[in-house]
């Protein structure tokens, strides 16, 4: 079985954070190919970016991601590197993509401050997580705030669902009232016809 490893690249990404995993998995596949040439590689490594153009990593290194959000192959492993992540935290299409691939991938992992991106997408809920030691306290606070925000969001959704159920009950009651009114009218018309016939 070949696992497809997807590494996300973005402007300001730390070079070591994406190049290290890329080198580990691609080298493992290359060594496997030399040792067992007829068998398929254990890993295929791809890079994914949010747009069609190159990204500029920390230090000015320009890298062209192989795929975008919509055209990459199915990912078995998703790796989110760290770096200058502020812009990614404000990119809703990235968060939506991360939630989508994170829910279907076998493994979703982060390097360094990439943990903040996983946390914002809700992929750390109920899990233990770590990051660079200098950012541990901030990660802890962020997760507490996100947990509160999500709890409020869950309550709001529950209230909206209850409101919708109440509305559906009201509609059902109104439909029942209409059916009863129509039945009463039919019975009245039938009584009128019967009275005319009797006379």
User: What b/e string do you get for 98-122 counting C-beta neighbours within 10 Å, with b at 16 or more?
Assistant: beebbeebeebbbbbbbbbbbbbbb
The structural domains of the chain, with segments of one domain joined by +, span 3-131, 134-199
pLDDT at 181: 81
pLDDT at 9: 97
User: Would you place residue 82 in the very low, low, confident or very high pLDDT band (cuts 50, 70, 90)?
Assistant: very high
Query: How confident is the model over 9-25, as pLDDT tens digits?
Result: 999 999 999 999 999 99
Query: How confident is the model over 168-194, as pLDDT tens digits?
Result: 888 888 888 878 888 878 777 776 666
Picking from 42, 18, 38, the residue whose alpha carbon sits closest to that of residue 30 is 42
Min mean pLDDT across 105-114, 128-137, 167-176 is at 128-137
Picking from 152, 153, 131, the residue whose alpha carbon sits closest to that of residue 141 is 131
Query: Catalytic residue at 112?
Result: yes
pLDDT at 150 over 60: no
Strands 43-48, 3-8: parallel, antiparallel or unpaired by DSSP?
Answer: parallel
pLDDT at 153 over 60: no
Residues 6+ apart with CB under 8 A from 64: 53, 54, 55
Of the residues 112, 115, 123, 124, only one is catalytic, namely 112
Tracing tokens 């975008």 back to the chain, one arrives at 68
Residues 6+ apart with CB under 8 A from 5: 21, 25, 43, 44, 45, 46, 75, 76, 77, 79
Q: What is the mean pLDDT of residues 104-115?
A: 92
pLDDT at 72 over 70: yes
Say if domain 3-131 classifies as CATH 3.40.50.880.
yes
Helix (H) or strand (E) holding 108: strand 107-110
Bigger pLDDT: 194 vs 35: 35
User: Would you place residue 154 in the very low, low, confident or very high pLDDT band (cuts 50, 70, 90)?
Assistant: low
User: Would you place residue 143 in the very low, low, confident or very high pLDDT band (cuts 50, 70, 90)?
Assistant: low
pLDDT at 151 over 60: no
pLDDT at 132 over 60: yes
Query: Where would I find the H helices in the chain?
Result: 15-35, 86-89, 92-104, 114-120, 136-198
């Amino acid at each position: 079985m070949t696992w497809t490893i997807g590494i996300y690249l973005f402007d300001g990404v730390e070079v070591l954070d994406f190049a290290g995993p890329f080198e580990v998995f691609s080298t493992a596949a290359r060594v496997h190919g030399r040792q067992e040439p007829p068998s398929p590689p254990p890993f295929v490594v791809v890079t994914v970016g949010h747009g069609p153009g190159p990204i500029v990593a920390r230090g000015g290194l320009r890298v062209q991601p192989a795929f975008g959000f919509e055209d990459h192959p199915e990912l078995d492993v998703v790796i989110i590197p760290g770096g200058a992540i502020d812009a990614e935290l404000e990119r809703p299409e990235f968060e939506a993509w991360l939630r989508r691939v994170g829910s279907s991938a076998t493994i979703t992992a982060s390097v360094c401050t990439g943990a903040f991106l996983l946390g914002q997408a809700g992929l750390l809920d109920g899990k233990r997580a770590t990051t660079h030691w200098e950012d541990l306290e901030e990660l802890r606070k962020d997760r507490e705030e996100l947990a509160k925000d999500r709890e409020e969001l869950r309550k709001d959704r529950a209230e909206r669902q209850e409101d919708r159920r109440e509305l559906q009950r009201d509609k059902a009651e109104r439909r029942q009232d209409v059916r009863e009114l129509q039945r009463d009218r039919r019975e009245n018309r039938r009584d009128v016809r019967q009275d005319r016939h009797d006379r």
